[in-house]
Chains A and B, each alone.
Chain A
């Protein structure tokens, strides 16, 4: 037992590949906890960022700057009465949020946070991800049907039509990225998530910049389709609150409703992870090939510490700026403790970075590497998360027919065109280089 526990520590493959069930379980637990925490953070961040977009403050009362608001919300939702309408289909109503949640969380088993920081490296990784995330629509459809009410039903029909349509464009955009992985000596591509990032590493370019502008167009299509896929503004027709009151989850309340929210945010992080993996170099730090000297490695490995240090500094400034009134005393102490925690984390990360730099191939070095990978991956995903909030603050909502028009008449043809052009380019480019090398 201890043997298998220790034996994995030195390995450089995912626990799934190493066949180490124990570490796989640990990774699953870490990732699921991490995702849940990320959803909570995202909840707070969305409310705050959205509030600041809209010249208001957002939550300020529960904890300093509303930091404890998500926890209070979660408590409230858990304690709230969980109403099941009398005419609803009890069993299906009960199971619908779980389907969505399960689909959203299962996806995380193949997301590569680093070359070995994933539960498993399936060689059909991306196929698995698309497939399982497409199961999420079942939860929505079934929830709308089981509520036995008109608004949820319309919401469910809308969202199922929407998700199925945008999956097509999404899939084709993904295929064009997968095609790019085959641009190596053997001419063999890969569907494995880790393999895709490694292909970008080998080719020395993020796929967003590959075959410019084809990679970028494919990425843009994916970026639009993924907003539609997760039912977020401006494609949030399924839960358009001004039209369908709340769409498919109109009849849901309490914990079950919060499960839908959890699934939605988890799905947002999941699709952003796909985009990051396919087009933005996954766990790679910027310019790994150009700035590959150990010194650069060291500098970039300081980033996690610096980020947390910056957050701590912001929290400290917030503490200092709090009104000096006895009413704010507890809040001030809370924020100071929070800032101190962040600062401690920053210090820890910096120490690890320095220790990992000095001692090669030690546990610290491996630790530092892992932190680096996860940090860059999470940073890229966080950018997408911010974009989701930004979209929501800026844009009105599309109408259903316009949404369908964009999906089928704009995105699908463009993605097919990009796919064909990518294939042609991939065919033409190597011989062209050969020819140029020979003649020029």
Chain B
């Protein structure tokens, strides 16, 4: 499907996006049967992945409509940026999507580099790709564990955490941090790879490939898993495009759109990988797409680690970063979708305005059309499948 298709844009007007019949102010009818039972799911709820609050309007178990209330984790990241130098702001972006901190850092560094017209050296780019793709695997593993837990399968959570640990160990040895890595600097990477980095990564590749099969063994053909995920939270490609949904959710709906292919950044043009896409746009397809993505990421890492060039890891960047006056929008394919940074520079050391396009926030919009008419249990499944991180939604 062509993304720039006008019919896709006009889809916004279609009635299934109509929110007018969601009137949460309706007084509670006196009985439960034809009632509109209003339930507050969250902000303290085990399955809303943090502090998302979803107000559900229910008819018995059927969902009539949802209203997301966000902002419980709002830290004003974008405002903070205006009072920090470009270098000082770099660690802050790690705290948005804290399960994919490396991707956040990559997007920010590349955006500033683009603004300054600097290019990172080849070796830095390769290191960036390796770490980012490892982080994608880690993010997807975390998603898989929590998603399966939401649907009631406890065990995959522990399997994925066991394997994610190996990735975090590599991060820790590389840059000293496990979660909020702050791995990259504007203009390249600060750290050279440690001795044995390649070996660690290669060991990890051989270690994790059978583990992904193991997850699939537990879930992919499990009848209950199939029943819980097939035809649940279906969203069409056109709806996705109209809502701006990106990432695996978009690809599972059959739209082949991946920024790594569409507008290659870092060193992605050097590698051979595929973009897995789904057909039905249901929860099961999104599961399959993410599982395939993990494998593709491993492929990229394998290629990158075998062909990692020698050379400097830092481009010539002035000590005080003062980009020229102008504005820039740069986006990368984060594990959850398109992560974009829009930076307006007034020529000073601090950004005049910095705006983040977080994939989780945009993807969360699809929740309503995905769960309307479904059951309460599906809401949980859909929140899980959207793979949101509240730190990124609220910023």
Q: Do A and B come from one complex?
A: yes
A→B interface (CB under 8 Å): 50, 53-56, 150-151, 153-154, 158, 233-234, 236-237, 240-245, 392-402
A398 to B226, CA, bound (A): 10
Could you write out 24 A-B pairs with CB less than 8 Å apart? A56-B158, A150-B40, A151-B39, A236-B152, A237-B377, A242-B149, A242-B150, A242-B152, A243-B380, A392-B154, A393-B154, A394-B218, A395-B152, A395-B153, A395-B224, A396-B153, A396-B225, A397-B152, A397-B377, A399-B227, A399-B378, A400-B375, A400-B377, A402-B228
Whether A397 and B162, one on each chain, are in contact in the complex, defined by CB atoms closer than 8 angstroms, is no
Q: Are the C-beta atoms of A396 and B152 separated by less than 8 Å?
A: yes
A227 to B38, CA, bound (A): 31
Q: B46 near A397 (CB under 8 angstroms)?
A: no
Q: A398-B228, A399-B227 are known contacts; what are 13 more A-B pairs with Cβ within 8 Å?
A: A50-B154, A54-B155, A150-B40, A151-B39, A240-B377, A241-B47, A242-B47, A243-B377, A392-B154, A393-B154, A395-B222, A398-B227, A399-B375
Q: Return chain A residues, CB-CB under 8 Å to B152.
A: 233-234, 236, 240, 242, 395-398
Q: Which residues does chain A contribute within 8 Å of B162, judged by CB atoms?
A: 55
Within 8 A of A (CB), among B7-62: 32, 37, 39-40, 45-47, 61
Question: Do A241 and B375 touch across chains, with their CB atoms under 8 A apart?
Answer: no
Check A54 against B154 for contact (C-beta < 8 Å). yes
Answer whether residue B215 sits at the interface, using C-beta atoms and an 8 A cutoff: no
Contact across chains for A394 and B380 when beta carbons are under 8 A apart: no
User: Of B40, B154, B218, which is in contact with the most chain A CB atoms at under 10 Å from its CB?
Assistant: B154
Size class of the B contact interface (CB-based, 8 Å): 20 to 34
Separation in Å of the A330 CB from the closest CB of chain B?
29
Residues on the B chain within 8 Å of A396, using CB: 148, 151-153, 219, 222, 224-225, 228
Which one of B159, B225, B377 contacts A55 once the chains associate, using CB atoms below 8 Å?
A: B159
**Is B376 interfacial (CB 8 A cutoff)?**
yes
* Alpha-carbon separation in the docked complex, A241 to B151 (Å): 10
In the bound complex, residues from chain B placing their C-beta under 8 Å from that of A397 are 151-153, 224, 228, 377
**A245 CA / B47 CA spacing, docked (Å):** 8
Q: Which listed residue (A393, A394, A401) contacts B375, Cβ 8 A?
A: A401
Query: Which B residues are in CB contact (< 8 Å) with A236?
Result: 152
Shortest CB distance B210–A (Å): 14
Complex: chain A residue closest to B377, CB-CB: A399
In the complex, the answer to whether B155 meets A394 with C-beta atoms within 8 Å is yes
Residues of B within 8 A of A242 (CB): 46-47, 149-152, 380
Q: A55-B159, A243-B380, A245-B45 are in contact. Are A234 and B375 (CB under 8 A)?
A: no
Question: Which residues of the other chain, A, contact B155 by a CB distance below 8 angstroms?
Answer: 53-54, 393-394
CA distance A399 to B225 in the complex (A): 10
Give the distance in Å from the alpha carbon of A157 to the alpha carbon of B380 in the complex.
19
**In the complex, which residue of chain A has the Cβ closest to the Cβ of B40?**
A150
What A residues does B47 contact at CB under 8 A? 241-243
Q: Which residue of A lies closest to B151 (CB)?
A: A396
B216 CB to nearest A CB, Å = 14
B158 near A243 (CB under 8 angstroms)?
no
| B148: chain A residues within 8 A (beta carbon) | 396
Chain A residues with CB under 8 Å of B159's CB are: 54-55
Q: What's the least CB distance linking A49 to chain B, in Å?
A: 12
Complexed CA–CA distance, A49 and B165 (Å):
23
Which residues on A sit within 8 Å (CB–CB) of B39? 150-151, 154
A398 touches B61 (CB 8 A): no
Interchain nearest-CB distance for A60 vs B (Å)? 16
**Inside 8 A of B37's CB, which chain A residues have their CB?**
150
Q: Which residues of B contact A394 (CB under 8 A)?
A: 153, 155, 218
Complex Cα distance, B321 from A367, in Å, reads: 88
| Complex Cα spacing A394 to B225, Å | 11
User: What's the minimum C-beta distance from B212 to chain A, rounded to whole angstroms?
Assistant: 16
| Residue in A234, A241, A400 whose beta carbon sits within 8 Å of that of B46 in the complex | A241
B61 CB → nearest A CB, Å:
6
Nearest-neighbor residue (CB-CB) of A56 within chain B: B158
**B219-242 to A contact mask, C-beta < 8 Å, 1/0:** 100101101100000000000000
Nearest CB in chain A: distance from B375 CB, A: 6
> Which residue of the partner chain A has the closest CB to B146?
A242
Bound-complex Cα distance A149 to B222 (A): 34
CB distance from B166 to the nearest CB of A (A): 13
List residues of chain A with CB within 8 A of the CB of B149: 242
Once A54-B158, A395-B222 are accepted as A-B contacts, the answer to whether A243 and B376 lie under 8 Å apart by CB is yes
| Contact status A399-B153, CB under 8 Å | no
Complex Cα distance A153/B58, Å?
13
- Cα–Cα, bound, A234→B162 (Å): 24
How far is B46's CA from A55's CA once the two chains are assembled, in angstroms? 22
For the complex, what is the distance from the CA of A236 to the CA of B227, rounded to whole Å? 16
B residues 137-163 with Cβ under 8 Å of A?
148-155, 157-159, 162
Contacts of B227 in A (CB 8 A): 398-399, 402
CB-CB under 8 A from A233, the residues of chain B are 152
In the assembled complex, the Cα of A101 lies from the Cα of B19 at a distance in Å of 47
